[in-house]
Structures are given as structure tokens and as C-alpha cells.
Amino acid sequence: MLHLTLRQLRVFESVARNLSFSRAAAELHLTQPAVSMQIKQLEGNVSLPLFEQVGKRIYLTEAGQELYQYSRAISQQLADMEVALDELNGLERGKLNISVVSTANYFAPNLLAKFCQRYSGITVSLNVSNRETVLKQLADNLTDLAIMGQPPKELDMVSESFMENPLVVIAPPGHPLCSANRIPVKRLAKEIFLVREPGSGTRSAMERFFAKHKIIINRGMETDTTEAIKQAVQAGMGLGIMSIHTAELELATNRLNVLDVQGFPIMRYWHIVNRKNKRLSGVAQAFKDFLLKEAPGLMPETIR
């Protein structure tokens, strides 16, 4: 008879999913020796090796792969049990796990704060990551809901748009184009643009827009953060294209201006995403409904 503990299975599931003892330790807020000890005890209980090391990387053995499938199923059942118990408590003591892409972090905390004002007893766990990481968290059932600009193509995901996400051209206040109206798109070919990294939803939308208008832009700095683009634009290094929601403070304090360019804003949408087969807790469903019904009206007037 196997003598396994839920703690051992939880540690094993994290190591197997990350294929890393150190990442599992960080995720579980444990020391690496503590993680190694749990895996060693688990391997002793099943009398089989669960991992093998090749060079500096670890891989699941055949027994490890088998146990990983069961451990994921058990984790899902425990999560469902937690949801069921939270539902019995109503919306007074629930917990919301939510992940957002980095650009959504400019407005998501504000919406979360307004939601929490209504349900003061709930706790919120907010993770901010790039799009690829957020999608992996959804796939691995590590988060209830996710907010992102580019909806996923995965068939096992449910995505609903809840708010407009206009992309605008930003410039420093002293730029010559700030006083111009209805700027022709072709005029932008003379400017230098600071761009996000390849794979960014904002960059993809920008590239599609300019390709449609048969314009080749001059690219300056490339960066993986919107914050760096805003700082560089303020410093006069070039123009930028970004969600208006990410520049609320700079627009309100006149540190950045939105240019009046024909064809802009490029209208995209923010989406709330969850796994199709995931049973949402009462709190998660309430937050999803809150976004779908009320989010646009709760945004500041300056960026609506």
C-alpha cells in the first residue's frame, strides 16, 4: 500500500511541471533542500525513480510521467473542492487568483480595488507576467482568470472581450506634430519608432497596420517593457505606439501627447480568459461578470 502525502504530491507536481527543483522551491516558497527531501521520500514510497538527470537538466522517468498525470488530476479535484467550499461561504471569504499581462497591470489593480470594495472579505492573488507565461498558468490551472489584449487561439480556452483597448501614437510635448491635425499616415515614415519585442501583441498590431498602408517605419530602440518606451519617448528618442490605458499618468500630467494620426487609434480589446473546463468559484465568476458589465464605465475619463 502506498503511503503518499498531499504535500509530497504537491511538491512533485510543481517539480514535474517546471522540470526544475529551484523553480518549484520558489513557487512553493520552500527551500531547495526541502523540495529535494520531499521528492526523495516520495521516490522511496513508490520504490521507483521519478526523475533522471541528463547534464544540467532533469527529465521525468516513465514512472514520473505516470505519477504526474495522477498528481494533476488530484490537484484539479482539490481545487474543485476548494471552489465548492468557497461557494458555501458565499462571496464573503472567497479567494481570487488572477493573472494579467504586463500592459494590463496599468489598470487591473484599479478594477480589482473597486471589486474588493464590494466584497471586503475576499483575498486576491495577482500575478503579472508576459503573455506566454500567463497562457501557461492558465493551461497548468494555476490561475482562475487572465486578462490579456490578444485572445488565445487554444480551443480549450474561453475568451470574452470586456473593454476597448485603443492603440495610439505618443510623442513628447515639444514634438512638431503635436500641433498638427489629421496627420497623414505616410508622414510617419519620416519618424523613428520605439517598438516592443517580437511576439508582443502591440507590436503585431502596429506591424499589421503599417503593412496595410505599405509603410516601412524607421525603428529605433526595441524593448520588452512599455515603461521603457514611455521614458524613451519623453527623452525625445522617437515616437511610440501603445495602449492608451498604459499612459494615463503621463497624459494627465502632460509628459506625453497623443498624436492625431489618420487611421488611429487602432482599436483592439481587452479580454478575460479562463479554461473551458474549469469550474469557476463564486468569486471568480462574480469578478468576470463585474468586468463584462462594468469595467468600461469605471475607467478614468481621460482615457475612455
In a domain, 60, yes or no: yes
d(CA 118, CA 39): 43
Tally of CB atoms within 10 A around 72: 16
Average pLDDT, the chain: 89
CA 82 to chain centre: 23
pLDDT band of residue 89 (cuts 50, 70, 90) is low
Q: Is there a single domain that holds both residue 259 and residue 170?
A: yes
- Contact present, 184 and 262 (Cβ < 8 Å): yes
Q: What is the pLDDT of residues 21-59, one digit of tens each?
A: 999 999 898 999 999 999 999 998 889 999 998 888 999
Point out the least confidently predicted range of 68-77, 225-234, 282-291. 68-77
53, 85, 117 - which closes a domain: 85
Tally of CB atoms within 10 A around 90: 12
Q: Is there a single domain that holds both residue 151 and residue 276?
A: yes
C-alpha cell at 47: 520504490
d(CA 14, CA 155): 25
- Contact present, 71 and 9 (Cβ < 8 Å): yes
Q: How many domains does the chain have?
A: 3
d(CA 134, CA 145): 10
85, 115, 144 - which closes a domain: 85
Domain limits for position 262 = 165-268
Q: Is there a single domain that holds both residue 136 and residue 229?
A: no
Bigger pLDDT: 282 vs 50: 50
CATH number at 125 reads: 3.40.190.10
Q: Is there a single domain that holds both residue 277 and residue 142?
A: yes
Q: Is there a single domain that holds both residue 261 and residue 174?
A: yes
Q: Is there a single domain that holds both residue 208 and residue 264?
A: yes
Does the pLDDT at position 150 exceed 90?
no
Q: Is there a single domain that holds both residue 78 and residue 140?
A: no
In a domain, 1, yes or no: no
Q: Is there a single domain that holds both residue 260 and residue 282?
A: no
Type and span of the H or E element at 162: strand 157-171
Closest CA to 98 of 90, 106, 109: 109
Q: Is there a single domain that holds both residue 197 and residue 259?
A: yes
